[in-house]
Amino acid sequence: MSPGQEPVYSEYETDTSQTSKLIRKFKETPFVPIGMAGFAMVVGYGLYRLKHRGDMKMSLHLIHMRVAAQGFVVGAITCGVLYSMFREYVVKPKE
């Protein structure tokens, strides 16, 4: 890159640490990291409950955990879409 050229994505090039990228992503779309964290919590809970599932078959337990994890992620994405629509159409001042 020549010294006279301005970088096209200057704000993205300055954020080099993973923490600053995560904070920027959380500010832009706050429900994506929430959905990821919820997914991780459901998976962790499913692995914990795997030992104490009793008479339940393994395949049934895995199906329940998959549905719970997908439900949490879809719920977080839906909340994020509704939140962004609210910001865009209700809170945004009319031009």
pLDDT of residue 36: 80
pLDDT value at position 22?
Answer: 75
> Residue 89: its pLDDT value, please?
86
pLDDT recorded at residue 3: 60
Q: What residues in the chain have per-residue pLDDT under 50?
A: none
Q: How far apart are CA 78 and CA 67, in angstroms?
A: 16
Per-residue model confidence (pLDDT) at position 8: 57
